[in-house]
Structure 1
Amino acid sequence: MYRAAAMNQESNTAPSVHREAFTVRSYDLDPRGRVGAGGICRYLQEAAAQHATRLGVATERLGPLGQAWILGRLRWRLDALLGRGDRIVVETWPSGLERLRALRDFVLRRADDDAPIGAGTSAWLIVDLARRRPVRMPAFVAAIRRPERPRAMSDVEAPGFPEGVEPASASITVRRSDLDLNEHVNNARYADWLIESVPDRIWRERRIASLDIVFCAEARAGERLAVDCLEVDTAGDDGGKCVTAHRIRRPDDGRVLVRARASWTASDDAPFRTP
């Protein structure tokens, strides 16, 4: 009872907009020295988790109810290169409720001068852990105060995956180290896996500039997955953006776990630091 009262008090005093600071570490980097898609997802996920804790709606509140947050969709864009030692701030806030989904937005800023370098939006569900099914938002979530500010990104149609064309594909076996507190693959790990079937010329010569990823079903340790990729908008020799469509599926039953779309741009087009 005391703990619940304390969390209610904390939610009443927590700021409606949260700022979480990060410094890019060497373990965040890919072989080219840049933060990849999974790293950006982890920054956003951690900022969201810290704010949920301050609002009193995190695991400590949901766990005793047999419930947990899961991420249904995450979309972001990054307008700058991030490398080792770069310092950023992720600004995040609850931005709305849509039926069973709680919306949360993000702005990524350069720590030195607070200049915006990216944005994101996400949709979260609360699931019953025993039934693995979404439930209605509890009253204490619906009551969270939302700031009066514009959405960080406008709504767009969820990404699909083209049919009738043979994609590039890679095979992944889920390891125990891929799992999170809910004993399924963490959302950022799926983002890590997307690059496994990206054409080498894109992965080596470009950086990911945006990602829209939808989580359709969960995966457990030991399962074998297929990671598919199709280039749907081909860049020319001028270094323009190209777009890739992604799908992660379970071949044993044909279930699609993830659909995503990413845009890629020249790797040196947006330095993090100002000249």
Structure 2
Amino acid sequence: MNIGVEYLAEQKQAWVLSSWEIKIRRYPVMGEKICVETWPYAFKGFYGYRNFRITNGQGEELVLANSVWVYMDMERMRPMRIPEKVADAYRPEIGEELPGEWGARKLSVPEGGTEMPPVPVAGFFIDTNHHMNNGKYILVAKESVPEDFAIGGVRAEYRRAAMLGDVLYPVVAVAEEKITVVLTDGGDQIYAIVEFAAAEKN
């Protein structure tokens, strides 16, 4: 498509993940062959929408995911309308949205919660945009989930980009079927909210 990371860096623009939801139907087993697919399905204003799917060799769907991206002007650090050149590059790849219901982009902050030990943002947390990698927020949040809590789904909303040297302060709220981890700066600012849903019991 010739609209990759290098091109966007030259334009001082980037796709930034705003939120996503992952539905885990079954975890792959050791040695099982899997296929990972991803495709965009819509563009609206400065938002881009992308699905992911993991299947096994028999076509069984193991994991489904929906994600919402924001096209950013990295100089001004604000959203910008997706340029036609960028949208045109993605149009041949646009597919059908995965069926089913997805949660809202925004996650609510639970009342109360238990404060956990702070986590400094280390160098290996940082991505090509010089911000904390989206997956690392989930890994940090997952450290607060008990080992006997079977995860059947994950939702994440990213509100503020953590940088090298920042410190994350996890606050954990436990409900009957979900655990929510709010990653703050120790004050009123929220970096991310991660919600882990319990797996369905067979």
Same-fold call, TM > 0.5? yes
Q: Which amino acid aligns with 1:118?
A: V
User: In the alignment, what sits opposite 2:178?
Assistant: 243
Taking structure 1 as the reference length, the TM-score comes to: 0.67
**Structure 1 CA distance, aligned partners of 2:51 and 2:95?**
12
Counterpart pick for 2:63 among 118, 125, 128:
118
User: In the alignment, what sits opposite 1:24?
Assistant: none
Q: Which amino acid aligns with 1:122?
A: S
- TM-superposed CA distance for 1:206, in Å, is 3.1
Counterpart pick for 2:33 among 87, 92, 95:
87
**Structure 2 CA distance, aligned partners of 1:133 and 1:147?**
25
Counterpart pick for 1:181 among 100, 124, 128:
128
Counterpart pick for 1:161 among 102, 109, 116:
109
| 1:133-148 map, 5 Å | 133-143=78-88, 144-145=91-92, 147=94
User: In the alignment, what sits opposite 1:42?
Assistant: none
Listed one character per residue, the Cα deviations across residues 155-202 of structure 1 (whole Å, up to 9, x for unaligned) are: 422321212x2324231001111101111100000010012222xxxx
Runs of 4+ in 1 over 4 A off after TM superposition: none
User: In the alignment, what sits opposite 2:196?
Assistant: 262
User: In the alignment, what sits opposite 1:27?
Assistant: none
Q: Which amino acid aligns with 2:188?
A: G
Aligned length: 199
Secondary structure, aligned partner of 1:197: coil
**Structure 2 CA distance, aligned partners of 1:189 and 1:152?**
28
> Are the aligned partners of 1:119 and 1:153 in contact in 2 as well (CA < 8 Å)?
no
User: In the alignment, what sits opposite 2:19?
Assistant: 73
User: In the alignment, what sits opposite 2:157?
Assistant: 214
**Structure 2 CA distance, aligned partners of 1:160 and 1:223?**
23
Q: Note the residue ranges of structure 1 that are not aligned, 5 or more in a row.
A: 1-54, 235-241, 270-275
Normalized per residue, the structure richer in helix is: 1
- TM-superposed CA distance for 1:113, in Å, is 1.2
Percent identity, aligned pairs only, is 21
Q: Note the residue ranges of structure 2 that are not aligned, 5 or more in a row.
A: none
- Going from structure 1 to structure 2, the CA distance change for 1:147 and 1:222 (only over 3 Å counts) comes to closer
- TM-superposed CA distance for 1:255, in Å, is 0.8
User: In the alignment, what sits opposite 1:171?
Assistant: 118
How well do the aligned residues superpose, as a CA RMSD in angstroms?
2.0
- TM-superposed CA distance for 1:87, in Å, is 2.4
Looking at CA atoms only, which structure, 1 or 2, has the larger radius of gyration? Answer: 1
- Going from structure 1 to structure 2, the CA distance change for 1:265 and 1:155 (only over 3 Å counts) comes to closer
Secondary structure, aligned partner of 1:145: helix
**Structure 2 CA distance, aligned partners of 1:172 and 1:101?**
30
- TM-superposed CA distance for 1:221, in Å, is 1.1
Taking structure 2 as the reference length, the TM-score comes to: 0.89
**Structure 2 CA distance, aligned partners of 1:204 and 1:126?**
36
- TM-superposed CA distance for 1:226, in Å, is 0.5
User: In the alignment, what sits opposite 1:101?
Assistant: 47
**Structure 2 CA distance, aligned partners of 1:186 and 1:208?**
21
- TM-superposed CA distance for 1:216, in Å, is 0.6
User: In the alignment, what sits opposite 1:197?
Assistant: 144
